[in-house]
Chains A and B, each alone.
Chain A
Amino acid sequence: MSDLAHGLPLSAPQIVLKQVVKQFGSNRVIDHLDLSIPQGQKVALIGPSGSGKSTVLRLIKGLETYQQGSIEVAGSSVPTRGGGWRWPGSKKAPVVHRVGMVFQQFNLFPHLTVQENVTEAPFRVLKLTREEALARAHQYLGLVGLSHKADAYPAQLSGGQQQRVAIARALAMRPQVMLFDEVTSALDPELVGEVLAVIRAIAHEQQMTMLLVTHEMKFAQDIADRVLFMEAGKIVADGSPEQILINPDNARTRRFLNRVEQR
């Protein structure tokens, strides 16, 4: 769509949504949406609540069914009934993990320690050895600054720490695409900074594609290569942070940004 406009190489895009329609009953939450994202791009999705931002992320991960159109991630298609459940595969066969996701409510596994939260999927899904999985846990817990909490349980951590563990857990799977769904919205204001700092650090990773749904406009402006403004299940503005956030020529975007700033 706008690969050239942002000076990025014109290669096969990594994420492609074509004419996607998603409805709950008669309520259409995604309305013939087209979107194409090249590898390595950092994309921020903004817009009023209920505009379908989170749904776009959930569709890409395969957590939602959809009625029309097609979705492709790294060359393989996400079926309309959602990513579906993987049936138990062979003990040896590792899974190709393409998309990682971090949720608003963290969704850590409360009965597992921080370290077990991070090692569980590399061990069970990627079939790494215990030692390899542990090494990854150390690496990514170090990255989010929580090595010293490895043996704690999620309930013993602050919201900001829990979210950082959730980020480490997703990164330990080494996904090609990372989805961040309003990851700071459930946090107390003083804890937002530490989580954003971690995401900023990851954003330096050139290869990783990132999609973020966020209400932190300043943050979006800092790390995003591209900003999408959504309304009523459609992308109504698509451009660089300067075009969308600083000099919006779209009247609705301007109104939305004014409202956000007034808060």
Chain B
Amino acid sequence: MNFDVAFAWSIMPELFQGLLVTMQVVVLGFLLAVLIGLILAIAQRKRAGSVNSLTRRLSSAYVSFFRNTPLMVQLYVLFFALPLAGITLPAISTGVIGLGLYYGAYIAESFRGAIEGVPAGQWEAARALDFDTATTWQRIVLPQALKPMLPVLGNYLIGMFKETPLLAVITIPELFQAAKQIAGMTYRYNEPYTVMALMFLAISVPTSLLFKYFERRSHV
């Protein structure tokens, strides 16, 4: 088994292109997932005798659908089935939407738990001061819910990043796809796959450290 350092250097630019695509899809997909998760979690919040029971049921239906079907299947449906219904999106957008929809369902569940963890007294204090609903969420409840969420969000972000090789099935030229192509054309497997693994590490480890830092800093 030999490792040609010069060859490894020479394929760097191509792999780096793949890494950029991966990171772009992950960052956008993550933002979408957080947004979807937040909306679902707010929709699921229990409030006695309100109109909300429909939105709550829709929201739980969404969560159980996306958590109980494989991500790969969801990606296939988005990429191959939607165009049959006249909806055609670029592969990268499909990847962002796919990751966002899938991880949104998971993030919603954690958000829900974190929101329920904010003591009832906080809501009552906000009401006693005549805050409106939007201000209560924005200034009182979400900042407190977000704190225990930070490590969870960090895990999902890294988890998402590591799932990106799946996006190769819908033709996104991400990192794994790039490595596979180099391997296919040169019949050298050592260098592209090793460099790819190192690139995944080079992103995952600092990201996880960054979230640990955020977490520590938020404990005032």
Binding site for B on A (CB under 8 A): 61-63, 83, 85-89, 95, 97, 99-101, 103, 105, 107-111, 120-121, 124-125, 153, 155, 169-170, 173
Contacts and interface: CB of A to CB of B under 8 A. Distances in A.
Given A88-B134, A88-B135, A111-B143, A103 B125 contact: yes
Contacts of B121: 103, 105, 107
A97 B127 contact: no
Interface of B, helix, strand, loop or mixed by DSSP: helix
B2 to A, nearest CB: 56
B117 to A, nearest CB: 12
Contacts of A101: 128
A110 B121 CA distance: 11
Given A88-B133, A88-B134, A111-B143, A63 B127 contact: yes
A153 B220 contact: yes
Given A111-B143, A153-B220, A85 B132 contact: yes
Interface string B166-180: 000000000000000
B131 interface: yes
24 contacts: A61-B127, A83-B127, A85-B132, A88-B133, A97-B129, A97-B130, A99-B128, A100-B129, A103-B128, A105-B121, A107-B119, A107-B124, A108-B125, A111-B144, A120-B129, A121-B129, A124-B131, A124-B135, A124-B139, A125-B129, A125-B135, A170-B128, A170-B129, A173-B130
Contacts of A105: 121
B130 to A, nearest CB: 5
B212 interface: no
A55 to B, nearest CB: 13
Contacts of A125: 129-132, 135
Given A103-B125, A107-B125, A111-B143, A121 B132 contact: no
A132 to B, nearest CB: 16
Contact of A169 (B129, B130, B140, B147): B129
Interface residues of B, number: 21
B121 to A, nearest CB: 4
A89 B136 CA distance: 13
A83 B126 CA distance: 12
Interface in B106-130: 119, 121-122, 124-125, 127-130
A88 B127 contact: no
A121 to B, nearest CB: 4
Interface string B137-169: 001100110010000000000000000000000
Contacts of A100: 128-129
B132 to A, nearest CB: 4
Contacts of B124: 63, 103, 107
Given A105-B121, A107-B124, A111-B144, A120 B130 contact: no
B140 A109 contact: yes
B144 A87 contact: no
Given A121-B131, A125-B130, 7 more contacts: A85-B136, A97-B129, A124-B135, A124-B139, A125-B132, A155-B220, A173-B130
